[in-house]
Amino acid sequence: MFSVISPFFVKYITPHVFIHSFDAFSENVNGHENKENTLNEKVCPNSWPVLEAMIRDRCGVDAVHYLSFQRHLITLMLLICVASVTIILPVNLSGNLLGNDPYSFGRTTIGNLQKDNNLLWLHTVFAVLYLALTVGLLRHHTSQMKGMQRETARNTLFISSVPRRATVDNIRTHFMEAYPTCRVTDVRLCYDVTKLVYMDKERKRAEKNLLYYQKVLQRQGRHVVINPRRCSYLCCCCGSCQCCQEVSDAIEYYSTQEAALLEEVQRLKQRTPERPLGMAFVTLQTESMATYILKDFNALQCRSGADGVGGAFKCGCCREPQPSSVSGNLHVRSWRISYAPNPNNIYWQNLSVKGVRWWLRFIVLNSALFTLLFFLTTPSIIITNMDKFNVTKPIYYLNSPVISQFFPTLLLWSFSALLPTVVYYSTLGEAHWTRSGENISMMYKLYIFLLFMVLILPSLGLTSLAVLLRRLFDNQSDTKLRFECVFLPDQGAFFVNYVIAAGLVGSGMELLRLPGLLLYTIRMAMARSAAERKYVKQNQAYQFEYGAMYGWTLCVFTVIMAYSITCPVIVPFGLLYLLLKHIVDKHNLYFTYLPSRLDRQVHLGAVNQALAAPIICLLWLFFFSVLRMGLMAETSLFTLVVLCATIFICIGYNCFGHFKYLSPHNYKVSLICAQLHVMGFVIFSIISHGAGNLDYKISTDDTEPDEPET
């Protein structure tokens, strides 16, 4: 309801405040304003629903991909809802294994059917049908995403493992000689600017604060006095304490601060050329030229026979980029080349963290995270410790079945929203070079962690991953792992309540954005003056965390799909969750978050993870068939064959997808560009041989050529 009335609230109550604040955010990110986009921004908030073109203009193409993915999941869930409610649910109700009580939830589950009932084949067929529907709809989403035109041409290459002594002229010379038909328009070397970026940001803040108080002096004709201590204006001592008496003139304070920061920035700028990172950005004239060079570096070339007259015999695949007179000094064979990401996608301050240092940080952080989650995997441990202090006992004495059933699921949702924060900050500490890599890592880790915490371990009645491994491999333990817990009559009700809590409570909490409000409150409390508080208000928005949102949504989607056959009542509430999630995310993307520029691999990774949901559904159905009828039953064997074939295809597709960059067919180069390159290289080789030797340096004057390089 809030997302529906918000446009009218913006229209009739605070239109100018909202528009000007968002324009300030856009100007801060992009550095300039587009008049046409500004006109659309003034019109779009008053229109509902927000169209896809409006979303793309304001939020970027990543928001379009994200919302399109959600719409495809909603379409899939609608089809599954119709099939599960109209076919699977009546079939489950036709059994009598769990009695005839109309108020019994177990009658709606697959456990209500006898093991010799032929209607169990219907569940297996529909599980395969759900898998086919998922693959088809996600394939349609992927084709739409790949068919969408990019916002910018990919004519810039990012090169790493460049020698630190390399210069711009050497790199330009290499590309001119090795690729005569490819015109290089710009070459930029990378330097360690971690501290410089931070100090320059602080200098700009001091400059804005100084400008604020200079305007106050011009308008009001008075000097403002501030207390430079943190949280000083929150002090309630009425000026009697010593900290409240430490005041200074605002203009003098920020002038001194800006001068000191400016001097430090100038000093760091002078030292920047002394700290190269061994990276470079090379911009070509066209995208086809960049693709041709990328193919030459990354694609494997198959050769056989002797390499020239008297050359060594070579066979198999090798990677030999085109040589030049400076390729030996530049160690071209060690270069790693890829398309350069969007400048807004790069963490420039993290480029200095590389090699052994980056891997050491990655291993330490993830080892600590795994150790923590190994013993604290599910909220059941926290809830058990809460019971020791009688925190949940008042709920028990209420003697209300609604509260007693809903409260555990509410706690599960609350802690499942709290514990992934550890995963989020551990990903931030890994110092990824791009926001895309950070979001992909966050999505994978968060999805796996939530899958164990919300679905797998609670289904088995376990509290942590340590308990699972102890029961699997401890032969001396009397406790055995009972897979029958997955199909208990009341087990499905627990997850139905979880999906309801995630849809109703979770969507409302995302609208409130309490973590952002808490962070905003802390920043406002830490501000020293009114100018700093104004700066906090103007810079309170941040980019949408696609990786975290993908991981969270796919976790709930996997829970719904896993129990869509065994407990079909969960599907309508899953559809409700996806609808509310789509509306809330659409509202937040348009009205709250800043636009982002991510790689397409983030959205393709979410598609690959969504395919795990119907596979887990087949796995759950296979467990049920084995426990009820044995491994050699027809339904068990059929489900096992389909499950193994699906897993094999998915693993093969993902594994070969990681090596796709090695295939020459992955790089589409225009025929004209390829022919021009071959002709240019032949002419260049003839001229070079005419000069004497390919290893000679081509002289630019009438003097004799230099001696061959050794």
> What tens digit of pLDDT does each residue of 292-325 get?
888 888 765 554 443 433 333 344 445 678 888 8
Q: Give 440's pLDDT tier (boundaries 50, 70, 90).
A: very high
- For the cut 50, the answer to whether the pLDDT of residue 201 exceeds it is yes
Q: Measured between alpha carbons, how far is residue 649 from residues 182, 384, 397 in Å?
A: 40, 41, 53
Tell me the two tokens of residue 197.
């970026």
* Three-class SS of 128-142: HHHHHHHHHHHHHHH
Sign of CA dihedral 428, 432, 434, 439: negative
- 624 contacts: CB under 8 Å, gap ≥ 6: 110, 486, 487, 566
Number of H helices, E strands in the chain: 29, 8
The two most distant CA atoms of the chain are separated, in Å, by 104
Cα Rg of the chain (Å, integer)? 31
Identity of the residue numbered 490:
D
Which letter, b or e, does each residue of 253-285 get, where b requires 16 or more Cβ atoms within 10 Å of its Cβ?
bbbebbeebeebbeebeeeeeebbbbbbbbbbe
Half-sphere exposure of 7 (CA within 13 A, CB side): 14
- Say whether pLDDT at 335 is over 50: yes
The closest alpha carbon to 335, from 161, 201, 178, 182, belongs to 161
DSSP codes joined into one string, 286-353: SHHHHHHHHHHHHS-EEEEEESSTTPPEEEEEE--PPP-TTHHHHTGGG-EEEEPPPGGGB-GGGTT-
Percentage above 90 pLDDT, the chain:
27
Q: Which residues of 96-116 are buried (b: 16+ CB within 10 A; e: fewer)?
A: eebeeeeeebbbbbbbbbeee
Question: CA 465, CA 461: separation in Å to the nearest integer?
Answer: 11
Write b or e for each residue in 377-407: b if 16 or more Cβ atoms lie within 10 A of its Cβ, otherwise e: bbbbebbeeeeeeeeeeeeeeeeeeeeeebb
In 10 A of CB 628, how many CB atoms? 20
Contact 404, 395 (CB under 8 A): yes
pLDDT band at 410 (very low <50, low <70, confident <90, very high): low
Most confident of 306-320, 427-441, 616-630: 427-441
User: How would residue 404 be classed by pLDDT, with cut points 50, 70 and 90?
Assistant: low
* Cβ burial, residue 672 (10 Å; 0-12/13-18/19+): exposed
In angstroms, rounded to a whole number, what is the distance separating the alpha carbons of residues 343 and 597? 9
State the pLDDT at residue 81.
94
Domain ranges of the chain: 2-35, 49-151+434-662, 195-272
| Whole-number Cα distances in Å, 451 to 455, 521, 552, 559, 574 | 5, 32, 10, 8, 16
Collect all residues with Cβ–Cβ distance below 8 Å to 438 and sequence separation of at least 6: 347, 427, 428, 430, 432, 547
CA distances from 564 to 450, 504, 575, 647 (A): 19, 20, 11, 20
pLDDT band at 390 (very low <50, low <70, confident <90, very high): low
- Which 8-state DSSP code applies to residue 112? G
**Residue 376 pLDDT greater than 80, yes or no:** no
Is it the case that residue 701 has pLDDT exceeding 60?
no
Cα separations (Å) of 90 from 12, 109, 495, 606?
A: 50, 10, 20, 33
Query: What would the mean pLDDT of 134-147 be, rounded to a whole number?
Result: 88
Given this model, what pLDDT does residue 82 score?
Answer: 95
pLDDT of residue 238: 55
Among 120, 112, 129, CA closest to 626 = 120
Please tell me the distance from the alpha carbon of residue 606 to that of residue 465, in angstroms, as a whole number.
25
Distance (Å, whole) CA 671 – CA 654: 30
- Give the mean model confidence (pLDDT) for residues 32-38: 40
Q: With residue 187 as reference, give the H or E element that holds it.
A: strand 184-191
Compare 95 and 416 and report the one with higher pLDDT: 95
* Residue among 95, 99, 100, 125 nearest 110 (CA): 95
Q: What is the pLDDT of residue 687?
A: 41
